Structure 1
Amino acid sequence: MTMALLAAALLMGFFGSPHCLGMCGGLVTAFGLSMKDVSPTKRRALVATYHLGRLTSYALLGLVAGLIGVTVLAPLMQGNSMPRILLGLVLVFVGATMLGAPFLTKLERFGMRFWQYLSPLRQKVFPLNTFPRALTAGLLWGFLPCGLVYGALLIAVVAHNPLSGAALMFVFGLGTIPMLVATHKTVGWLRDKIGRFRLRQLNGAVMVLSGLAVAVVPMVMANMHGGHGGGHAQMDHSSHSAMMSETDAHDIDQMNHDMTPAMDHGMQDMDNHMDHSMHDMGDDAPSMHHGQ
Structure 2
Amino acid sequence: MTTALLVAALLMGFFGSPHCLGMCGGLVTAFGLSMKDVSPAKRRALVFTYHLGRLTSYASLGLIAGLIGTTLLEPLMQGNSTPRILLGLVLVFVGVTMLGAPFLNKLERFGMRFWQYLSPLRQKVFPLNTFPRALTAGLLWGFLPCGLVYGALLIAVVAHNPLSGAALMFVFGLGTVPMLVATHETVGWLRDKIGRFRLRQLNGAIMVLSGLAVVAVPMMMSSMHSGHGNGQMDHRSHSAMMADEDTAHDMNQMNHDMTPAMDNTMDHSMHDMGDDKNSMPQSQ
Distance 1:251 1:48 in 2: 90
Amino acid at match of 1:127: P
Unaligned runs of 5+ in 2: none
1:88 counterpart residue number: 88
1:229 counterpart residue number: 229
Distance 1:122 1:255 in 2: 102
Distance 1:173 1:7 in 2: 12
Residue 255 of structure 1 deviates from its aligned partner by 4.3
SS at match of 2:38: coil
2:269 counterpart residue number: 269
Give the % identical residues. Answer: 75
Residue 259 of structure 1 deviates from its aligned partner by 5.5
Is 1:138 equivalent to 2:138 in the alignment?
yes
Q: What whole-Å deviation, never above 9, does each CA across 1:69-123 have from its counterpart, x for those lacking one?
A: 0111111121111111110000000000000000000000001111011000000
Q: What whole-Å deviation, never above 9, does each CA across 1:32-60 have from its counterpart, x for those lacking one?
A: 11111111111111100000000000000
1:164 counterpart residue number: 164
2:40 counterpart residue number: 40
2:113 counterpart residue number: 113
Give 1:37-76 correspondences, 5 Å limit.
37-76=37-76
Amino acid at match of 1:152: A
Give 1:145-160 correspondences, 5 Å limit.
145-160=145-160
Moved over 6 A (4+): none
Single out whichever of 251-260 and 154-163 deviates more from structure 2. 251-260
Amino acid at match of 1:9: A
Amino acid at match of 2:185: K
Q: What whole-Å deviation, never above 9, does each CA across 1:147-167 have from its counterpart, x for those lacking one?
A: 000000000000000000000
SS at match of 2:224: helix
Give 1:147-226 correspondences, 5 Å limit.
147-226=147-226
Distance 2:143 2:223 in 1: 44
Distance 2:62 2:263 in 1: 90
Amino acid at match of 2:237: H
Residue 228 of structure 1 deviates from its aligned partner by 2.9
Larger radius of gyration: 1
Give 1:246-285 correspondences, 5 Å limit.
246-258=246-258, 260-278=260-278, 280-281=279-280, 284=281
TM-score normalised per structure 2? 0.96
SS at match of 1:19: helix
SS at match of 1:38: coil
Residue 260 of structure 1 deviates from its aligned partner by 4.2
Distance 1:263 1:174 in 2: 97
Residue 262 of structure 1 deviates from its aligned partner by 4.2
Unaligned runs of 5+ in 1: none
Distance 1:83 1:63 in 2: 18
SS at match of 2:16: helix
Query: Number of matched residues?
Result: 284
Residue 217 of structure 1 deviates from its aligned partner by 1.9
